[in-house]
A and B are shown apart, each in its own frame.
Chain A
Amino acid sequence: MDAVERENLDRQKRWVKEQKVGEGAYAVVYRGREFSTGRRVAIKKIKVGQFKDGLDMSAIREVKYLRELKHQNVIELLDVFSNKTNLNLVLEFLDSDLEMIIKDRSLVFLPADIKSWMAMSFRGLEFCHRNFILHRDLKPNNLLIASDGQLKIADFGLARDFADPGFKMTCQVITRWYRPPELLFGSRYYSSAVDIWSVGCIFAELMLRTPYLAGESDMDQLKTIFRALGTPTEQEWPGHTKLPDYVPVGQFPKTPLRDLFTAASADTLNLLTKCLLYEPRKRISASEALQHPYFFAIPHPSHPSKLPKCTTQMVPRPLGEVDGNVDMASTGPGVKAAAPNKGRLKRKMTSPMDDARTRSIARKLDFTKHMKSP
């Protein structure tokens, strides 16, 4: 037995695997414990055998970047060891994600709660960007919540480092609903601004309790974005018509965000607007966002321990059910236990329209029910 094998065996002995929590296309997740302390961990076993061309890309990405990142708001990779032909990642155990919390209708969010979650997301993201790493798959589902309420960014299966001037990057990243317009237009050179757009969408989703820009296809996603924020003009976003996959999708007027976010404060809307700017170079950066007056205004962000917690039971769910994501093969959602229902795409669109229905004058007659068109 050589030194490497011995070292590996030593590491393996430190962790105890317990029951299976979930399974995906490229990984199986187990709940586990640290042998010496009894601390709960999650062990992600990556299936190696079935991939002809070696290890799965997202596994490599996950190890490569998580090995370097250690921050309060980023999931911690505790150890890596191999077992026969499998690769095992030992990660922090986190019991719920933001999506479960958003969907749990018995929970009520105070503005301070949203502020706290946003601050933690931006802090984690700022740390990634500070280290020149793009996450490229931010969504509520990938923001995990620790038992003490801390929010942690997980699933670095699509992450990569940025600012390399020579390399094109793929535009087929980020779950569709959270994908910025420059990626939808096929830009191969982008920057940290793509993650900021996703955070903006999550911010809006926290307020609405329903996905903000839920497109059904890539084309529909662009339409949905423009319908919500107005079609960009050349001044607003110079050069966007020259992007590789640019297609005109119709003219939509600008509607003020205030119409949809009726209860939000001016600071809130200001930050949201800055996160959802069309011109990526003008979009706010994570560190600028953390200095935004929204975070300093009253109410103070809720203390993490007081944030609403998910009440639903943890149920093992199949991993790798990536909603709306093109890159099906590459993402098994990080290590998290269980959202209760599988119909992830069928999240219901409820009632932002309700108040729009109360119109003062109803003079239009609806004859559609009475006759076929002549």
Chain B
Amino acid sequence: MTTKSNYGWLQGRTVRKGGYSSNSHTRSNTPQIQSTSSTIFGGGIKDPSGRTSEYFSMDDQCPVCKSDRYLNPKLRLLVSSCYHKMCESCIDRLFTLGPAPCPICNKVLRKLGFSPQTFEDLGVEKEVAVRRRIAKEFNKRLEDFNDLPSYNDYLEEVEDIAFNLINNIDIPATEARITAYKTANAALTSLNLQREEAEALALKEQEDLERREREARAAQLAQQEQQEREERQREERELIDKLETSQKDAHKIVAKSRIAAAKRSSARAASSSVNSGLLGMSFGADYAKLLKTRTNKVNNSVPDEPHVPFQDDWYAYDDLYTVRAEGYDDIISEAVRKDREGIMRAGGYKVEEAWNRALLTAVAGLDVVAISGLGEQKPVEDVDVVMDSI
């Protein structure tokens, strides 16, 4: 409320008598005011969380047709894009036939450009709208800058632009600055937008997780209490039964059952503490502890061996052939080799692999002895094949 005078220029002084006075408690002694639900911010439509989603007061008056809530109980004032209020019937009357000038400031307006009022002060309304718009475009983060001073400069610039827009200083120049920034930083802006969304999602998920955890704890606790109650009832019944049936001394029986009960309850406390520890762990709270147990477990078993790239006794046949460096002129791979547009190259196809495969399959197994039949024959030694063409 104290900021109101600062934004006087916004209200449009020409209509002050009708429009603006509606907010300034000139008729605060009228009984209607008392009947609205909120006392600080005037009335308003509230969403389920109790936030004012649309502002209205009992002494609203349309600055255009001067109709007020007394004459029209359904009066609803909407705010134009030049921040002037009008009632719905005026808007219908003036703008149904297309864009028309604002009756207060002559700016050309459209029917769709009207929106409900959220804040009592239209200055706040405008500032919020401007800042929302700016925040959407200028969403760079500290990580996007090399050092803190440049980030601060950037924030300063953003604040400057916002201030200009709010106070109608150099609007065309400022808009030009914004568009220039927009084109220069489109990619980064969209990236940061995605980041923000992802963060919001992650935050929500974490909150969900925490809530579930709390619920699980509560359920466990309730269950424990229930168990305890049942147990105590059972004990009492047993005690009474015993006192009824046995011939022993009543005092002794009572003392015995008390000791047993104390033992049980202490056991229960111990087990519940263990349980709650486990519960916390399962939700990833006690990660460090897990890591510790894991490292401990590792230390007392087989030692780790250094890396051995290949663990099978594989013979590469590399010494049996060489692939010609200049390649081969075979018909089958002709299309692939020509590859005018570089599509095969871009897809990662290597014709060398085909040649390699052909040569390898040709020489592999040359020195393998047949399993049966020619048992005495010696393996072929050192077959060096150099293929000229396939």
Q: Mark A residues whose CB is within 8 Å of B.
A: 71-72, 105-106, 108, 110, 112, 115, 119, 123, 126-127, 130, 132, 162-166, 182, 187-194, 227, 237-240, 242-244, 250-253, 279-281, 283, 287, 290-291, 295-296, 299-303, 305-306, 308, 348-351, 353-354, 356-357, 359-361, 363-374
A residues within 8 A CB of B155?
A: 361, 363
CB distance from B10 to the nearest CB of A (A): 14
Is there contact, CB below 8 Å, between B336 and A162? no
CA distance A194 to B349 in the complex (A): 10
Leading 5 A-B pairs by shortest Cβ distance: A280-B348, A187-B347, A239-B346, A165-B333, A239-B342
Interface of B toward A, CB cutoff 8 Å: 51, 53, 79, 81, 115-116, 118-119, 125, 128-129, 131-132, 135, 139, 141-143, 151, 155, 186-188, 190-191, 194-195, 198-199, 201-203, 205-206, 281-282, 284, 287, 290-291, 294-295, 298, 301-307, 309-312, 314, 330, 332-333, 335-336, 341-351, 353-354, 356-357
Contacts of B188 in A (CB 8 A): 253
CB pair A367–B128 under 8 Å, yes or no, is yes
Contact B305 A351 (CB under 8 A): no
Q: A112-B304, A194-B348, A365-B131 are in contact. Are A106 and B282 (CB under 8 A)?
A: yes
Please give, as numbers and ranges, the residues of chain B lying within 8 Å of A295 by CB-CB distance.
307, 309
CB distance from B202 to the nearest CB of A (A): 4
- Whole-angstrom CA separation of A190 from B348 in the bound complex: 5
Q: For residue B143, which residues in chain A have a CB less than 8 angstroms away from its CB?
A: 356
Complex alpha-carbon distance, A163 and B359, angstroms: 12
Complex: A2 Cα to B316 Cα, angstroms = 42
Q: Which residue from B131, B206, B353 sits with its C-beta under 8 Å from A163?
A: B353
Contact B142 A350 (CB under 8 A): no
Are B347 and A302 neighbours in the complex by a CB distance under 8 Å? no
Q: A165-B330, A191-B348 are in contact. List 13 more A-B contacts (CB 8 A).
A: A71-B312, A166-B332, A166-B335, A182-B348, A243-B343, A243-B347, A253-B191, A349-B202, A356-B143, A357-B199, A357-B202, A359-B141, A373-B115
| Given A163-B356, A302-B304, A367:B202 Cβ within 8 A | no
A110 in contact with B351 (CB, 8 Å): no
Given contacts A243-B347, A305-B302, A373-B132, contact A354 B332 (CB under 8 A): no
Q: How far is the CB of B357 from chain A (nearest CB, A)?
A: 5
Closest-CB distance, B43 to chain A (whole angstroms) = 17
Interface pair A164/B346, CB less than 8 Å apart:
no
Known: A189-B347, A290-B309. A164 touches B294 (CB 8 A): no
Contact B310 A353 (CB under 8 A): no
Q: Which of B79, B345, B349, B356 has the most CB of A within 10 A?
A: B349
A353:B305 contact, CB within 8 angstroms: no
Q: Provide the bound-state CA to CA distance between A372 and B119, in Å.
A: 11
Residue among A72, A238, A253, A296 making CB contact with B306, cutoff 8 Å: A296
